[in-house]
Structure 1
Amino acid sequence: MAIAAHHEIGLGDLLEGIVLHSFEGKPPFGPETLDFITQMRSAYGLDLTAKDSHLLTEKS
């Protein structure tokens, strides 16, 4: 949500952009956005990575 707000776009538009870039094998974010993501991860104590995504499970 913070990335969408940072770029002044809706969450749906952000997700669409990420998916479209992914389908073409291109990175969805440039250096400025990656720096912003690093700042947000640090500020909120986020330490999960892409490797963790396959380990996550939903609780009922």
Structure 2
Amino acid sequence: MDERKPIERVQTGVRLEKRVLKVLKAVAAHHEIGLGDLIEGIVLHAFEGKVTFGADSLAFIEAMRKAYGLDLTAADSHKLVEQDGSR
């Protein structure tokens, strides 16, 4: 049986790259969950070194990356700068 765990959530002002956010929103909608739930799941999987998405989800993500022109990869992580030159 699914055991629910009570938690406390807080509002945050996280800034994300525009196309990354579009893909995340599409993935959340595809899985019929909220954006916050998706991000929490990704982070909890990453914290344990576990794979977050299966083959079907990865295929959907790739289609959304193409649709939204998301050409950034993991190699670009921590190297991104705002168009005005700030980090």
**Divergent runs of 4+, >6 A:** none
Q: Secondary structure of 2:60's match?
A: helix
Query: Which segments of 5 or more consecutive residues in structure 2 lack a partner in the other structure?
Result: 1-24
Give the C-alpha shift of residue 51 in structure 1: 1.1
Structure 2 letter corresponding to 1:19: V
Q: Secondary structure of 2:51's match?
A: coil
Give the C-alpha shift of residue 9 in structure 1: 0.2
Mapped to 1, the partners of 2:75 and 2:34 lie a distance apart of: 27
Mapped to 2, the partners of 1:57 and 1:43 lie a distance apart of: 23
- How many aligned positions are there? 60
Structure 1 letter corresponding to 2:44: L
Which residue number corresponds to residue 70 of structure 2? 46
CA-based RMSD: 1.2
TM, length-normalised to structure 1: 0.89
Answer 1 or 2: which has greater helix percent: 1
| 1:35 corresponds to 2:71 | no
State the identity %.
72
Larger relative contact order, structure 1 or 2 (CA cutoff 8 Å, min sep 6) = 2
Query: Which segments of 5 or more consecutive residues in structure 1 lack a partner in the other structure?
Result: none
Greater CA radius of gyration, 1 or 2? 2
TM, length-normalised to structure 2: 0.64
Give the C-alpha shift of residue 53 in structure 1: 1.6
Which residue number corresponds to residue 4 of structure 1? 28
